[in-house]
Amino acid sequence: MKLDTAVVLAGGSGSRLKPLTNDIPKGMIDVCGKPLLQWVIEWLRDNGVMHVVLGVAYLKEKIIEYFGNGRKFGIDIAYSVHTVDGGTGEGFRLAISRYVDRDVFFAMNSDQLSNLNLSDVAEFHLKHNAIATMVITNPRCPYGHVQVDDGCNAIGFVEKPPCLHAFCNAGIYVFNKEVLNHLPDKGNIEETTFPILAKRRQLKAYPFKGFFITVNTHKDLVIAEQELTKWESK
């Protein structure tokens, strides 16, 4: 079964990226020559997604004006308006109930960059027959590590390595439409929906080891541009 639909939430105010987001939404911040959200949409298209529902709120007109119906990017785009304060719960609930007619589909935030193969995640989800699958990855440690030998000598340094013994939510999911029964009117699914599904063993976790970065801060933006420059040059 090939999944061709994705719900992408692009409604946040991007407060940690101010002043860049004073006049533009987070998804329109330039990353290596094009908006962050364009990288996400083109990645979806390259993974076989032809129908995208964008959940928009903060400065939504700028996103709608730029992406239009999506045809110039090779996809179809519909827009679902929600409130900034409604969180991911309201954003996903409204977008899914208004525009999604598929039983199984991708859902995600709009601020992550990755080389994840979505077909692999879809196959995993369908095999396990859960209501939702969450992509998880190793978070990057915010501090450099010092390597020490048995004699307490500093023998090496590793700059902000991935934390190999911990996982974080990558903000990329596969949902069955049944998830609507578990989405709140307002609030974030990380604090409402996912704990309920996890307790019922209806939330699967798909580990991913490839390229991944979430752009939340100015430092993230610098790292994203460095990584994409390397990625594009390969």
Domain residue ranges of the chain, discontinuous segments joined by +? 5-136+166-233
Task: Tell me what percent of the residues of the chain surpass a pLDDT of 90.
Answer: 64
Task: Tell me what percent of the residues of the chain surpass a pLDDT of 70.
Answer: 94
- Residue 19, preceding peptide bond in cis (omega within 30° of 0): yes
Bigger pLDDT: 92 vs 155: 92
- Answer for the pair 107, 171: CB distance below 8 angstroms, yes or no: no
- Whether the pLDDT of residue 14 is over 90: the answer is no
- Whether the pLDDT of residue 24 is over 80: the answer is yes
User: What's the Cα-to-Cα distance from 68 to each of 21, 64, 73, 116, 120, rounded to whole Å?
Assistant: 21, 5, 10, 26, 30
pLDDT category at 185 given cuts 50, 70, 90 is very high
Q: Which residues of 28-58 are buried (b: 16+ CB within 10 A; e: fewer)?
A: bbebeeebbbbbbbebbbebebebbbbbbbb
Q: How confident is the model over 188-230, as pLDDT tens digits? A: 999 999 999 999 999 999 999 888 888 888 888 888 888 777 7
Backbone angles phi, psi at 229, to 5 degrees: -60, -40
Q: How confident is the model over 160-173, as pLDDT tens digits? A: 666 666 778 899 99
Backbone angles phi, psi at 115, to 5 degrees: -110, 25
Stated length of the chain? 234
- Answer for the pair 33, 107: CB distance below 8 angstroms, yes or no: no
Bigger pLDDT: 156 vs 53: 53
Domain 5-136+166-233 in CATH: superfamily?
Spore Coat Polysaccharide Biosynthesis Protein SpsA; Chain A (3.90.550.10)
pLDDT of residue 232: 64
- Enumerate the β-bridge partners of residue 147: 156
Q: How far apart are CA 132 and CA 181, in angstroms?
A: 12
Q: How far apart are CA 71 and CA 190, in angstroms?
A: 32
User: How far apart are the two ends of the chain, measured CA to CA in Å?
Assistant: 31
